[in-house]
Homo-oligomer: A and B are copies of this chain.
Amino acid sequence: MSLIVQKFGGSSVANAERVFNVAKIVTDTYAQGNDVVVVVSAQGDTTDDLIAKGQEINPNASKRERDMLVAAGEQVSIALLSMAIEKLGFPVVSLLGWQAGFQTSSAHTSARIRRVVPNRIRKELDKKRIVVVAGFQGVSRYDDITTLGRGGSDTSAVAIAAAMHADLCQIFTDVEGVYTADPRLVPNARKLKDISYDEMLELATLGAQVLNNRSVEMAKKYNIELEVLSSLVRAPGTIVKEKSKMEKMLISGVAKDTDVARVSVIGVPDEPGFAFKMFSKVSAKNINVDIILQSIGRDGTKDISFTIPLDKVDDVKECLQEYIENIGAKDLLIGTDVAKISIVGAGMESHAGVATKMFEAATSEIKVSVLINKKDADRAVTAIHEKFFEE
């Protein structure tokens, strides 16, 4: 008998039919003799609908009240899923974040889980009940409802798995697992049997969002075996664990990210501290900087380029314009017509040759990224996938 945590996202419980589909998966797992804890998100567009309702009333509402509002979404879905499980004839109980022992920071709308105290869950499992837990939400030390931010239900699931030393944490999604490339783009893309935490983290940051990043970091920290699999197709998914043993491949995936922009600061005087100060300013605005390039110009200045998320273009302009004028740099150029293509693989660490095949610098030992014109992005992914996986 194992303890299995199963997490289902909002689209998996979007309507009554899907709720019963999930109930079937859960009760099958239970009927095989396992203890089952289920973590569910709010149904379909519920969270967005609730946010829109709040926006209509007050776009500047406090984060505490926003959390109060959206947390109602999971309350509905855990109740409905439990009702479906009851209908199938199995013992079940639903628990809200605070009932399930999710103690978080007070950073409303993006709270961190401080710890999970699973006493109640354990008591219910001892009574042989399936336990359905509201993902995405918790309670602060002040007894206020908090939420973990988008994708937080993955983190909820891994946190329970860690707190209860679960044997497996299954993350059900609308894809069948982790692929060597986006299957909608590359027909020959194939599903990986397994992948390491580090590879998964790199893929997640690269626009191949299958799992929430914080959840993978937490799984790595507590060594929780994850399985990414489909809630609609019954088939083994991809296992995420410390070392990928099954696959001996050099690289495990190719990813495309078109939500990037290139920022170039032209003619920065070549004096110590200028670049550091510039990146400090950007980072103070919570803008994540990726690929950084410096090129020395002929007149003793340098050009500094880096990538940022596409939606941060205005923020970057606002935060750098004055500074680069003060230090006497020549220009600030923004390129939005770019895409980032990356290959990820733990095998690269010991194969220096891989990086030399690409022409720009890598920011990780298991990832190589290049910036290309957006219009060429799909062809590039296909070509790279052919080169590494189909030859």
Q: Which residue of B lies closest to A19 (CB)?
A: B57
Residue interface mask A82-104, B partner, CB < 8 A = 1? 11101100000110100100000
A68-83 CB contacts (< 8 Å) to partner B: 68-69, 71-73, 75-76, 78-80, 82-83
Q: Is the CB of A84 within 8 A of B68?
A: no
Complex copy number for this chain: 2
Other-chain contact of A83, B16, B65, B96, B120 (Cβ < 8 Å): B65
- The answer to whether the Cβ of A54 comes within 8 Å of any Cβ in the partner chain is yes
Other-chain contact of A87, B57, B72, B83 (Cβ < 8 Å): B57
Report the minimal beta-carbon distance from A42 to chain B, rounded to whole angstroms: 10
- The answer to whether the Cβ of A61 comes within 8 Å of any Cβ in the partner chain is yes
- The answer to whether the Cβ of A356 comes within 8 Å of any Cβ in the partner chain is no
A140-157 CB contacts (< 8 Å) to partner B: 143-145
Q: Is the CB of A80 within 8 A of B96?
A: no
Q: Is the CB of A57 within 8 A of B143?
A: no
Q: Is the CB of B64 within 8 A of A80?
A: no
Q: Is the CB of A79 within 8 A of B93?
A: no
Q: Which residue of B lies closest to A64 (CB)?
A: B93
Report the minimal beta-carbon distance from A64 to chain B, rounded to whole angstroms: 7
Q: How many angstroms from the CA of A56 to the CA of B96 in the assembled complex?
A: 22
Q: How many angstroms from the CA of A54 to the CA of B78 in the assembled complex?
A: 11
Q: How many angstroms from the CA of A145 to the CA of B79 in the assembled complex?
A: 11
Chain A interface main SS type: helix
A143 proximity list for chain B (CB < 8 A): 99, 120
A41-57 CB contacts (< 8 Å) to partner B: 50, 53-54, 56-57
Q: How many angstroms from the CA of A53 to the CA of B16 in the assembled complex?
A: 8
Report the minimal beta-carbon distance from A214 to chain B, rounded to whole angstroms: 25
- The answer to whether the Cβ of A364 comes within 8 Å of any Cβ in the partner chain is no
- The answer to whether the Cβ of A326 comes within 8 Å of any Cβ in the partner chain is no
Q: Which residue of B lies closest to A20 (CB)?
A: B57
Q: Is the CB of A79 within 8 A of B99?
A: no
Q: Is the CB of A62 within 8 A of B75?
A: no
A84 proximity list for chain B (CB < 8 A): 57-58
A71 proximity list for chain B (CB < 8 A): 75
Q: Is the CB of A57 within 8 A of B83?
A: yes
Q: Is the CB of A76 within 8 A of B94?
A: no
Q: A16-B56, A94-B68 given as contacts; is B75 within 8 A of A61 (CB)?
A: no
Which of A57, A66, A144 has the most chain B CB within a 10 Å cutoff? A57
Q: A99-B143, A143-B120, A145-B96 given as contacts; is B58 within 8 A of A68 (CB)?
A: no
- Which A residues fall within an 8 A CB radius of B? 16, 19-20, 50, 53-54, 56-58, 60-62, 64-66, 68-69, 71-73, 75-76, 78-80, 82-84, 86-87, 93-94, 96, 99, 120, 143-145
Supply 29 A–B pairs (Cβ within 8 Å), ascending by A: A16-B56, A19-B57, A20-B57, A50-B76, A53-B80, A54-B79, A57-B84, A57-B87, A58-B83, A58-B87, A60-B87, A61-B82, A61-B87, A62-B82, A64-B93, A65-B79, A65-B83, A65-B94, A68-B78, A68-B96, A69-B75, A69-B76, A69-B83, A72-B73, A72-B75, A72-B76, A99-B143, A99-B144, A120-B143
